[in-house]
Amino acid sequence: MTIKKRLFISNIIMIVVPIVAFLIVGAVMRGTIALIFEIENWERYDPNIITSSSKYLVFLAIFWITMLLLGAIIFINNWIVMKKIVRHITEEHEKYENSHKELIAGISHDLRTPLTVIKAYLEGLETGVADTPEKQKKYMDTLKAKTNDLEKLINRLFLFSKLDIGDLPMNLQIVEAGKFIQDLTDDFTEEYKQKGVMLEIENLTNDPVKADVLWLHNVFINVFENSAVYKNKDLGKVTMSCKKTRGINGKAMLEIHLQDDGPGVSPESLEKLFDVFFRSDPARNKQGSGLGLAISAKVLQHMGGAIRAEPAETGGLDIIISLPIIEGYNGNTNYRR
């Protein structure tokens, strides 16, 4: 629950609880007065009789004790609510600070690596280490490659910042999930086979979902690239399948599973897998900025979906993409390959 919602609920509680409590106290006091002073008809009672009676002291004692108890209950309630809110705010702040530090450390690391290579190769060209046309060409090719890496990283950082503030337009359309996955597999099977990853399909369903085709395409590519980078065998495998499920709100959702047979991720690292620059797990301590899955999470969030990771039956990682199913679909999809 967000801080805004917690504050809203706490404010409602702080208003409603005293009102309800005072109404209850009013009813109790009215009944107490009627009982002590034997009032049968409130329209005929004389207030002077009450104030001049010795029973009035008893009434006052009961009244003030009740009010003190009521005040104590309201104070304790508000104190507990505010304590929870403060604790939540503190935890969120600590989480933000840690994420900020990891972000800065990640950016520094991923910028430093290609910059170090670029600097070294430029010095090699300047000092004449590359003294033959072949060496010079090799140095120039490396410089171009590292410059491209820098450009890709900067573009991804810019994209992530745009997604983070919600400033990225999306062209949402109805997409038949099974057809989309089949087309994607046909297009990229050979390319990823060259990278050491086989793309396989099991149990596809052609349920209609609402998505931006280009961004959904990029989400799948990010997962494929992740599996290719972290595979622990010559030829790894990514198996894709679909199944219908229900969200927390009862809404029909389509879960798309992408299971690989790589090293997997430790249980304590699963939730952090989609954090920016996350690479603290030993199995993921390799090259790459760590931005791909973080961008995928943001993209799917903007589509009304989500992404999570679970241990795969193969021992690797199961990336699960959830998208809302379009109910009442009549078969007129506007997705074209």
What secondary structure does DSSP assign to 34-75, as a single string? HHHTT-S-TTT--HHHHHTSTHHHHHHHHHHHHHHHHHHHHH
In this structure, of 63-72, 80-89, 179-188, the range with the lowest mean pLDDT score is: 63-72
**What is the pLDDT confidence band of residue 25, given thresholds at 50, 70 and 90?**
low
pLDDT of residue 280: 47
pLDDT tier at 238, thresholds 50, 70, 90: very high
Pairing of the two strands 236-246 and 252-260: antiparallel
pTM: 0.61
* DSSP letter (8 states) at residue 325: B
- From residue 86, alpha-carbon distances to 2, 14, 92, 97, 98 in Å are 13, 16, 10, 16, 18
Q: Which two tokens stand for residue 70?
A: 């009521």
Mean pLDDT calculated for residue range 70-87: 78
Query: CB of 174 within 8 A of CB of 329?
Result: yes
pLDDT of amino acid 60: 63
The predicted model gives 172-176 an average pLDDT of 89
Lowest-pLDDT range, 36-40, 109-113, 203-207? 36-40
* CA atoms of 273 and 279, how far apart (whole Å): 8
Whether 212 contacts 172, CB under 8 Å: yes
